[in-house]
Amino acid sequence: MSTTTTSNTFENDFHKNHIQINNFQRGLLTVGSAFMSIVDPYRADMIACLGETAGTSAIMYMMRKMESSEEGAEILRQKPRINSQTVDLDKLKKYPEGTLGRTYTRFLEDNNVTPDSRLPVQFIDDVNAAYVLQRYREAHDLFHAILGMPTNMLGEVTVKWIEAIQTKLPMCIGAAIFGPVRLKLKHRNLYKNYYLPWALETAHNSKFLLNTFFEKRWEQPLNELHKELNIKPLVLPNT
């Protein structure tokens, strides 16, 4: 797919899904979505809404980080999408074990998730800012895959700490802070002793994950990508 076609595809989707709101409506949506996100952390629609209505400064920060990187800037220019229409998942399943492509499809299989589940951005007026947030949403499962984190609460909270520190998105910060209260006792101990320290170290030491042009790296061995991004996989003690 050409750069122009890909960019125009996102822009077409943006105009189709965009909803114009005023400041009062934005404030109302922010308060309501923040409350519901705390009450029910599985409400993806409320979490998505909070990211759009309260995340302007964070999105601008993310955009600057991408613009300052050659690879990130290329992503912004091309505006690629990550879904079953743009990524040949059947082809990736045939890639050798240990490659990014096979790791990603195995993550989708093991956790029974699909790249088509990410909601479109609606309440952001600028098309480029909207794309940055859309890219974050669609890359979230790839973050899980390369970090080796499942989609259970322990895995989600761990990834959210890394995302919170790297992106500064309010909904990531909220999920990282309030999510652990829902952990079971066994997971809570693992979280405090291993997962949280590893997440904090990884967030601060690794490169900005959103600058990774995953679509050009499907054949790359995961251990090479880890070295490039300065990610040290979590190692748990034998139990």
Domain ranges of the chain: 3-229
Using a 10 angstrom Cβ sphere, with 0-12 exposed, 13-18 middle and 19 or more buried, the burial of residue 46 is buried
Distance CA 208, CA 202 (A): 10
Handedness of CA 41, 114, 158, 202 (dihedral sign): negative
pLDDT at 127 over 70: yes
pLDDT of residue 9: 86
Annotated binding residue at 204? no
What pLDDT does 3 receive? 32
Predicted TM-score of the model (pTM):
0.88
Whether the predicted pLDDT of 31 surpasses 90: no
Q: What is the pLDDT of residue 167?
A: 97
Residue 24 banded pLDDT, cuts 50, 70, 90? low
One DSSP character per residue, 42-88 reads T-HHHHHHHHHHH-HHHHHHHHHHHHTSHHHHHHHHH----STTTS-
Residue 2 has pLDDT above 70, yes or no: no
The mean per-residue pLDDT over the stretch 168-181 comes to 90
pLDDT digits (tens, 9 = 90+) for 50-70: 666 667 899 999 999 999 999
User: Residue 93 belongs to what H/E stretch?
Assistant: helix 89-93
Q: CA-to-CA distance for 208 and 69, rounded, in angstroms? A: 9
Q: Is 88 annotated as ligand-binding?
A: no
pLDDT of residue 171: 86
Any binding-site annotation on 97? Answer: no
140 is in an annotated binding site: yes
pLDDT score, position 164 = 96
The angle subtended at Cα 69 by Cα 65 and Cα 73, nearest 5°, is 90
